[in-house]
Amino acid sequence: MVFNSIEFFIFLFIVFVLYWTLFKTHVKVQNVFLVIVSYIFYGWWDWRFLSLILLSTTVDYFTGIMIDSNTKPSRRKLWLWVSVFFNVGLLGFFKYFNFFIDSWLDMVSLLGYNIKSTWTLKIILPVGISFYTFQTMSYSFDIYYNKLKPTKDYLSFAAFVSFFPQLVAGPIERASNLLSQIINRRVFSYDQVVGGLKLILWGLFKKIVIADALAPIVDDIFANYSSYPASTLVLGVTLFSFQVYGDFSGYSDIAIGTAKLFGIELRSNFKFPNFSRNVAEYWQRWHVSLSTWFRHYVYIPLGGSRVSKLKSVRNIIIIFLVSGFWHGANWTFIFWGAFHAMAYIPVFLMGRNTMYKHNVVGEHRLFPSLIEIGQLILTFSIITFSRIFFRSESITDAFAFIKIICSNFSYEVYHHPMGYRMIDYYILIALFVLYEYRIRKDERSPFKFKSKIIRFIVYTIVVLGMLLFYDSHIDRSFIYFQF
């Protein structure tokens, strides 16, 4: 049951009405209901995966209590490692087992030994496993670092782990934010629900109009890159930048909006990353829940930037490599992570990694300055270039793709694989960028207009956009579900 399916909206409507009518009386009742509907939502993919989520919930619930109840540091550490081993083990088995086997066999074959692979398994990757294992691990970490007291309420903890709006692709929540809301009774708020509906509408627009509409073009260019000129490859990876942003930020907006319908505020996951002035700012705006997770639980424990410059650089390389590897068991993601580390380190060494933390491009101005425009273009180009690794099927494909761009630049008009007018997409992207610039100060209020008439016109245009760019023939799944 994906967010852009009719089944989900029927499900959401029923659950919303029941939640605020029959199950609103007591926090326990609300949480029982949330757990049941979240399990139904998750079981819709494959009911067998429910056992994993139940196991993960139970293990982290008890390890949390055990960490807290022990005063001896070594014991606390031991229980923390139980949680980490369990979650990383779960992830490692389902996501990385075959990758390690294949890589090992490749390495052995390089040494001249040919071993026939009989160890690789036919494993289905349980949807959302990368997200909820990280979420439950953060709970154990927070207790270990004395930032959080464990809950004794198993039901609330189960609701925290399985809360359906953010279960399968984030935002990866921290217990200090989500669990604290779950243990308290939620009260219906008209403004909050309306805010949620607006975010859902905007998320659907980004998914259907931006991501899904660009998908056939990107798929075509990456699948047939060797037969296209460099200009088309540049177009393909640029459009992929918009596609992946529309896809994932659209998903996050729907998730945050859906949570709001149930009286819960999730953290923002995307803060207009296309308006970043350097790579460091980009990482403060793109997939924020994952980057903060790595910062809090990997980078800072390693010493962060409080150690020597050399060690800080080492830490940066580690978190980007781990982040790349988190995305998937493929060398392309590791190269993608390494590339980002290389792009981030100069910014860090120049001391410019936090300079844009508390302001946005064109702050207090209608338009960005020329310098800012230059910074935006440069950052966008670096990020877009890195996406060649992210999108390519293999590392060989990625380098071949880059080679065509760098060695033999030629231009040819590109035609849509299904025959649509390409100009429609260029106009669409231009309008989308302009609109996002207009709303860049608040990612949670995409329709913030004082005039009701203007707001209504924007709603109409958004729905019209969905009607104009909807295509029944394309795959509508979310890119980040594979992670």
Partner 1 sequence: MKKLFLKTTLYIVLVLISLEGIVRVFHLAKDNPARYIDKHKVEKWVPNQEGYSVTGNRRQNFSKFYINNSGYNSYREFTPSKEKTEIALVGDSFIEGFHQHYYNSIGKKIENRLEGVEVYEYGYAGYDLADQLHLIWAYKDQFDLIDHVVLGFKFENDLTRDEYHVVKDRMQLESPLYKNLRRIKLLVYAQNIGILDPVRNVISRILMLGKKSNNTKKVATQKEIEEKQLKYLENFKSLIDIYGFDKARFVFLLDSNKTPGVFLDYLDHSGLKYIDTYHELSKSKTPTTLIYDRHWNNHGRNIIASLIVENYKLKD
Which positions touch partner 1 (CB under 8 A)?
5-7, 10, 20-21, 188, 190, 193-194, 197, 418-421, 424, 456, 459-460, 463-464, 467-473
Is residue 296 annotated as a catalytic residue, yes or no? no
| 350 or 457: CB nearest partner 1 | 457
Q: Could you tell me the smallest distance in angstroms from the CB atom of residue 443 to partner 1?
A: 22
Toward partner 1, which CB reaches closer, 351 or 419? Answer: 419
Residues 169-200 as b/e (b if ≥16 CB within 10 A, e otherwise) read: bbbbbbbeebbebbbeebeeeeebbebbebbb
Q: What 3-state DSSP class applies to 59?
A: helix
- Report H helices in 163-229: 175-182, 190-205, 213-223
Q: What is the DSSP string of 102-133?
A: HHHHHHHHHTT-----------PPPTTHHHHH
**Least separation in angstroms between CB 308 and partner 1:** 56
Q: Give the whole-angstrom CA distance, residue 274 versus residue 226.
A: 28
Least separation in angstroms between residue 218's CB and partner 1 is: 19
The answer to whether 100 and 88 have CB atoms below 8 angstroms apart is: no
Residues 6 or more apart whose Cβ sits within 8 Å of residue 298: 318, 319, 322
Q: Could you tell me the smallest distance in angstroms from the CB atom of residue 6 to partner 1?
A: 4
Residues 6+ apart with CB under 8 A from 116: none
* Residue of 26, 287, 296, 327 marked catalytic: 327
Q: How many CB atoms lie within 10 A of CB 137?
A: 23
- Residue closer to partner 1 by CB (options 201, 221) is 201
Q: Report the residue number, 21 or 407, with the smaller CB distance to partner 1.
A: 21
Q: What are phi and psi of 40, to 5 degrees?
A: -65, -45
- Residue whose pair of structure tokens reads 């939502």 in the numeric block: 41
Determine if the peptide bond prior to 171 is cis (ω within 30°): yes
Q: Are 152 and 192 in contact (CB under 8 A)?
A: no
Q: Which amino acid is at 97?
A: F
Q: Which of 259, 376 has the CB closer to partner 1?
A: 259
Nearer to partner 1, 5 or 117 (CB): 5
Minimum distance from residue 464 beta carbon to partner 1 (Å): 6
Separation CA 136–CA 175 (nearest Å)? 8
What is the smallest separation between the CB atom of 131 and partner 1, expressed in angstroms?
A: 26
User: Closest CB to partner 1 among 92 and 216?
Assistant: 216
For residues 149 and 421, what is the distance between their CA atoms, to the nearest angstrom? 57
Residues carrying an active site annotation = 327
